[in-house]
Amino acid sequence: MKRWGRLLTIVSLVAVILSAGFVAGSLRPTAFAQGSGANPATQPKGTEELFGPFWEAWKMVHDRYVDKVDDSKLMEGAISGMINALGDPHSEYLSPQNFEAFTTDLSGVFEGIGATVRKDTKTGGIMIVAPLPASPAKAAGVKAGDLIVTVDGKDITGLSQSEVIGQIRGPAGTKVKIGIVRQDAQKLIELTITRARIEVPAVTTAVYEGNIGYIKLAEFSNTGLTAFNRGLRSLRLNRLKGLVLDLRNNPGGGLPTAISVASQFITEGPVMIERGKEGTQDIVLESAGKSLAPTIPLVVLVNESSASASELVAGALHDRGRAILIGTKTFGKGSVQTIAPLSNNGGLAITIAHFFTPTDRAINDVGLTPDIVVPWDQDAKPDYDVQLVEALRYLRNEF
């Protein structure tokens, strides 16, 4: 049994890009798992007494509150509060606007400032994982590690990630002001950034000296698998002596894409173990077969911003003996979300399982430690990719 309509996101799929966003997000889905659809649910039996205080509060607000009350906002606030009470940063209520963005902006083309992000649970701010190359964020001086705490002068630390993204994204040519806290600064830094239309290249390829191939996957998006397979074929795999798979700064995406990418290097057998709530049976997802590169020597590059689907693929290739990992410890996001629409055109992102590597290693809150740890200070050495150099040396047997 394979449940393909799942998400593996860094925090939430939309949150990966400060715009219409990914997941993936953020890991992006090929299809969304549906809940009960848009049909309103009836109140479960036996909950009348439990929800008594809620309706008492509802009535008091309508009877006594001094200003006009917006029932839709009250309802959405109640749903958000319920989901927030789970204490899970990957589960959240999506307003109709954010749900539409979540489910439609999956092509890698968006309008915003262009930065990979994640929610910082300690401060409530939005952490910049990395500004995208040639993006408005990069041009404005946004750096990895910056913490967004205000948008257009308003504190956003109490908002969900998708809510913040909804404020930062917008039409190309319009401006947004973000306030950031930087590690080496003693005060709030405010940057006004002009949004732009940004197209994220799904795959980048190259061939280095010694016939060592290189392929970088930016995200596990809807179109990512087709581009990835095309990129692999373009490298003329039968001529290569080795291959570098670069999953650095890849926040994740759709579970089907992740399984398919891993399957290009693993001909058969387990790729991941999915473990749901107590009382449910583990699901072992296996290689789809028809591998393009089942035997080529392989190095996977990872870093602290390799999350979710990236960790799934890296963990599978490592556990199955197909690759070694080089770089820095990964993010540690090993959970699976399903996306369900609600009757108000909003939706819920709910964590339904955790995933484990083929040898049953945990990912969530743990991450993957590379076989060869190679730190890289990109601010100090922006033009010298020491991690890639180490991968090439390894595949060339240069020790």
Query: Would you state the pLDDT for residue 21?
Result: 28
Is 342 inside any structural domain? no
Kindly report, residue by residue over 273-309, the tens digit of the pLDDT.
999 999 999 999 999 988 999 999 999 999 998 999 9
Do 136 and 113 touch, CB atoms closer than 8 A? yes
Query: Would you state the pLDDT for residue 24?
Result: 30
Query: 162-184: buried (b, 16+ CB within 10 Å) or exposed (e) per residue?
Result: bbbbbebbbeeeeebebbbbbee
Q: Measured between alpha carbons, how far is 103 from 110 in angstroms, rounded to an integer?
A: 13
Query: Are 152 and 232 within one domain?
Result: no
Considering its fold, how many domains does the chain have in total? Answer: 3
Do 55 and 78 touch, CB atoms closer than 8 A? no
Instruction: Give the list of residues 6+ apart from residue 172 with CB closer than 8 angstroms, or none.
Output: 111, 195, 196, 197
Query: Are 379 and 276 within one domain?
Result: yes
Name the band, by pLDDT with cuts 50, 70 and 90, for residue 199: confident
Find tokens 């701010």 and name the residue. 125
Query: Are 195 and 207 within one domain?
Result: no
Is 15 inside any structural domain? yes
Query: Are 30 and 117 within one domain?
Result: no
Query: Are 184 and 239 within one domain?
Result: no
End of a domain among 103, 129, 155? Answer: 103
Q: Which domain, by its residues, includes 31? A: 7-103
94 bridge partner residues: 347
**Residue 333 among the catalytic residues:** yes
As a whole number of angstroms, the longest Cα–Cα distance in the chain is: 77
Is 215 inside any structural domain? yes
Tokens of 383: 């033009």
End of a domain among 180, 199, 218? Answer: 199
Marked catalytic residue, from 26, 119, 319, 335 = 319
pLDDT for residue 39 is more than 90: no
Query: Are 193 and 218 within one domain?
Result: no
- Listed ranges 17-31, 185-199, 299-313; the one with the highest mean pLDDT: 299-313
Q: Measured between alpha carbons, how far is 259 from 284 in angstroms, rounded to an integer?
A: 11
Is 14 inside any structural domain? yes
Is 278 inside any structural domain? yes
Tokens of 132: 């995208």
Query: Would you state the pLDDT for residue 33?
Result: 29
Query: Are 167 and 213 within one domain?
Result: no
Is 355 inside any structural domain? yes
Q: Please indicate whether residue 272 or residue 198 has the higher confidence score (pLDDT).
A: 272
Query: Would you state the pLDDT for residue 20?
Result: 27
Q: What is the CATH number of the domain that holds 165?
A: 2.30.42.10
Note the pTM of the prediction, 2 decimals. Answer: 0.82
The single-letter code of the amino acid at 69 is V
Is 340 inside any structural domain? no
Q: What is the CATH number of the domain that holds 360?
A: 3.90.226.10
Query: Are 172 and 256 within one domain?
Result: no
Is 70 inside any structural domain? yes
Query: Would you state the pLDDT for residue 379?
Result: 74
Mean pLDDT to the nearest integer, 21-29: 30
Question: pLDDT averaged over the chain?
Answer: 86
Marked catalytic residue, from 95, 308, 310, 335 = 308
Q: Please indicate whether residue 328 or residue 160 has the higher confidence score (pLDDT).
A: 328
Tokens of 158: 């109490």
CA distances from 54 to 59, 61, 76, 181, 364 (A): 9, 11, 14, 38, 34
End of a domain among 181, 199, 217? Answer: 199
pLDDT for residue 15 is more than 50: no
Query: Are 188 and 289 within one domain?
Result: no
pLDDT for residue 243 is more than 90: yes
Tokens of 359: 């040898």
Name the band, by pLDDT with cuts 50, 70 and 90, for residue 106: low
- Can you say whether the dihedral through the CA atoms of 91, 96, 99, 101 is positive or negative? negative
**Residue 308 among the catalytic residues:** yes
Name the band, by pLDDT with cuts 50, 70 and 90, for residue 28: very low
Do 349 and 91 touch, CB atoms closer than 8 A? yes
Mean pLDDT to the nearest integer, 100-105: 65
Q: Measured between alpha carbons, how far is 32 from 66 in angstroms, rounded to an integer?
A: 42
198 bridge partner residues: 110
Query: Would you state the pLDDT for residue 345?
Result: 92
- Listed ranges 27-31, 101-105, 299-303; the one with the highest mean pLDDT: 299-303
**Residue 319 among the catalytic residues:** yes
Mean pLDDT to the nearest integer, 340-363: 94
Query: Are 249 and 389 within one domain?
Result: yes
Marked catalytic residue, from 19, 119, 260, 333 = 333
Kindly report, residue by residue over 68-81, the tens digit of the pLDDT.
999 999 999 999 99
Query: Are 189 and 213 within one domain?
Result: no
Q: Measured between alpha carbons, how far is 245 from 260 in angstroms, rounded to an integer?
A: 14
Query: 315-346: buried (b, 16+ CB within 10 Å) or exposed (e) per residue?
Result: bbbbbbebbbbbbbbbbbbbbbbbbbbbeeeb
Query: Are 244 and 364 within one domain?
Result: yes
In 3-state terms, what secondary structure has residue 367? Answer: coil
In 3-state terms, what secondary structure has residue 138? Answer: helix
